[in-house]
């Protein structure tokens, strides 16, 4: 009895190990199938069957469609190999498609469609823009051809208007604008309106922009053609104009909206401390001058250079923590303190453009929380950044004013009327 029991005990672990091994192999094969490119969604359809006698009917060619949702690791060669396409034919397809689209640069999360007839590749479709796609097909001689095709699309002009109840961003989205259009609006008026501090409840806005429609569906906001804002009882207008060697936004009198300095180096943030000769410091616990503006914002928020210029200092500076100072034209100097980090390439002597990201909000140095400390100097003297009246850009020449006036009247009319959609390109191929 003991000998039999020992044999059974020895046999039992062996049998258990064998069963577990088989289960493990089955699980591995299942996972391998799921992650394989060929396991992407597949649709199949059969061609119509000819003849009346069902028993004698011949089955037509089998047409199959494969939709491949691409990952970062997928390649065109890999996908075609999974469909049993010969290597030389894959290379031939890539070569013929290159004038339209480089198939070695497939984008993650995009979809590549392949169609086969009786297991042989017949067609490949790949959408590489909002409305353009690559079409590879086998011709009657069996050779693969490639061309670009377009989905039905058009550009319309759309007007979005609204009143600010909570914030410009939130209320503009509610009115029908998309985030790209709101950012464009803040870019246009960035020299006249501080969107971090000047926006008030009851302010109004109107935007006239181009909108790309694909197959009747709005897809993407294009160029902003005009805008109007009423902020604190004051009206601002912007007209997009392209003249001889120039393009940009101008007010109703043809004056450039672009000026020496932006009103604020941050977007959509709040002022937590203003310019003062005697502010109580929350850390040092004493009154001391506060020669700048503090903008409260989350750590990592991008900081833009208020104007074009040359970096004079980029690094640690005592209580300022990570600190950047930039010298601009017309005697202006701007400074940015408490940064979490300084932007790539920003160092003493580097040239920067207006609106370029130079660093990120933080709480380094003597700071009670994440914010940007912003200072402005004129001829070496600290001034209140909110009082800056920077110099305007070049206005429209007198000889072009008649042309500008015609565009201005058209834009203002559309903004006032609420806007009708206009098609600029044919909706069909």
| Max mean pLDDT range (21-25, 141-145, 289-293) | 141-145
DSSP tag of 362: B
Q: Give me the percent of the chain exceeding a pLDDT of 70.
A: 77
In terms of pLDDT, which residue wins out, 178 or 423?
Answer: 178
The CATH superfamily assigned to 270-387 is: Glucose Permease (Domain IIA) (2.70.70.10)
Sketch the domain layout of the chain as residue ranges.
62-150, 154-258+394-417, 270-387
154-258+394-417 architecture in CATH?
A: Roll (3.10)
Output the DSSP codes for 122-169. Answer: EEEEEE-SSSEEEEEEE-TTS-EEEEEEE-SEEEEEEEEEEE-SS-HH
> What's the average model confidence in pLDDT over 390-414?
90
Asked whether the predicted pLDDT for residue 235 surpasses 70, the reply is: yes
CA–CA separation, 319 and 322 (whole Å): 9
pLDDT value, residue 156: 93
How far apart (Å, rounded) are the C-alpha atoms in residues 404 and 394? 14
The per-residue pLDDT for 290 is 44
Per-residue pLDDT tens over the stretch 87-121: 999 999 999 999 999 999 999 999 999 999 999 99
Which has the minimum average pLDDT: 6-15, 32-41, 144-153, 224-233? 32-41
Among 60-74, 95-109, 266-280, 341-355, name the one with the lowest average pLDDT: 266-280
Question: Nearest Cα to 249, choosing from 182, 185, 164?
Answer: 185
- The pLDDT tens digits for 51-87 are 344 443 457 789 999 999 999 999 999 999 999 999 9
Confidence of residue 25 (pLDDT cuts 50, 70, 90): low
Q: Does domain 62-150 have CATH number 3.90.1150.10?
A: no
Q: According to the model, what pLDDT value does residue 48 have?
A: 35
Q: What mean pLDDT value characterizes the chain?
A: 82
Does the pLDDT at position 267 exceed 80? Answer: no
Radius of gyration in angstroms for the set of CA atoms belonging to the chain, rounded to a whole number? 32
Which has more pLDDT, 44 or 272?
272
Between 272 and 180, the higher pLDDT residue: 180
Give the 3-state secondary structure percentages of the chain, helix then strand then coil, rounded to 5.
25, 35, 40
pLDDT of residue 29: 52
Q: What is the reported pLDDT for 22?
A: 62
Residue 26: predicted pLDDT: 59
Does the pLDDT value for residue 271 go beyond 90? no
According to the model, what pLDDT value does residue 268 have?
Answer: 54
Q: 43 versus 318: which is more confidently predicted?
A: 318
Residues 6+ apart with CB under 8 A from 280: 286, 287
pLDDT of res. 195: 80
Q: Is the pLDDT of residue 249 over 50?
A: yes
Residue found under tokens 């011949």: 58
User: Quick check: 207 pLDDT over 70?
Assistant: yes
Q: Which of 290, 348, 351 is nearest to 320 (CA)?
A: 290
Place of tokens 């920067």: 352
- Looking at per-residue pLDDT, the higher value among 49 and 292 belongs to 292
Using CA of residue 336, residue 340, residue 346, residue 347, what is the dihedral sign?
Answer: positive
Question: Do 154-258+394-417 and 62-150 fall under one CATH topology?
Answer: yes
Q: What is the mean pLDDT of residues 422-427?
A: 38
pTM listed for this prediction:
0.61
């Amino acid at each position: 009895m003991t000998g039999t029991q020992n044999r059974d005990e020895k046999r039992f672990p062996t049998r258990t190990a064998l069963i577990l091994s088989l289960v493990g192999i089955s699980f591995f094969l299942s996972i391998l199938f799921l992650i394989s490119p060929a396991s992407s969604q597949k649709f199949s359809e059969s061609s119509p069957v000819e003849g009346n006698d069902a028993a004698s009917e011949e089955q037509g060619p089998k047409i199959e469609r494969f939709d491949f949702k691409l990952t970062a690791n997928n390649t065109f060669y890999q996908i075609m190999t999974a469909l049993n396409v010969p290597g030389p034919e894959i290379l031939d397809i890539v070569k013929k498609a290159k004038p339209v689209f480089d198939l070695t640069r497939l984008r993650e999360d995009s979809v590549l469609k392949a169609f086969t007839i009786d297991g042989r590749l017949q067609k490949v479709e790949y959408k590489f823009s909002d409305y353009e796609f690559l079409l590879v097909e086998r011709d009657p001689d069996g050779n693969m051809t490639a061309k670009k095709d377009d989905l039905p699309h058009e550009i319309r002009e759309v007007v979005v208007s609204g009143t600010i109840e909570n914030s410009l961003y939130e209320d503009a989205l509610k009115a029908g604008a998309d985030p790209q259009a709101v950012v464009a609006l803040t870019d246009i008026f960035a020299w006249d309106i501080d969107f971090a501090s000047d926006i008030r409840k009851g302010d109004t806005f109107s935007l006239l922009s181009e909108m790309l429609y694909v197959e009747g569906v709005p897809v993407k906001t294009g160029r902003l053609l005009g805008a109007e804002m009423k902020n604190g009882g004051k009206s601002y207008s912007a007209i997009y104009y392209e003249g001889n060697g120039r393009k940009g936004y101008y007010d109703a009198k043809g004056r450039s909206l672009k000026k020496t300095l932006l009103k604020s180096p941050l977007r959509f943030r709040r002022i937590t401390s203003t310019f003062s000769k005697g502010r109580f410091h929350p850390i040092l616990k004493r009154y001391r001058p506060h020669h700048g503006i503090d903008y409260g914002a989350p750590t990592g928020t991008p900081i833009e250079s208020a104007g074009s210029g040359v970096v004079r200092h980029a690094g640690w500076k005592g209580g300022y923590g990570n600190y950047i100072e930039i010298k601009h034209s017309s005697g202006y100097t701007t400074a940015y303190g408490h940064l979490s980090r300084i932007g790539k390439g920003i160092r003493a002597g580097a040239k920067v453009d207006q609106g370029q990201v130079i660093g990120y909000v933080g709480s380094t140095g003597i700071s009670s929380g994440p914010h940007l400390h912003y200072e402005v100097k004129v001829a070496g003297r600290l001034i209140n950044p909110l009082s800056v009246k920077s110099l305007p850009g070049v206005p429209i020449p007198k000889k072009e004013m008649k042309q500008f006036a015609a565009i201005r009247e058209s834009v203002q009319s559309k903004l006032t009327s609420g806007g009708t959609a206009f098609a600029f390109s044919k909706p069909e191929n």
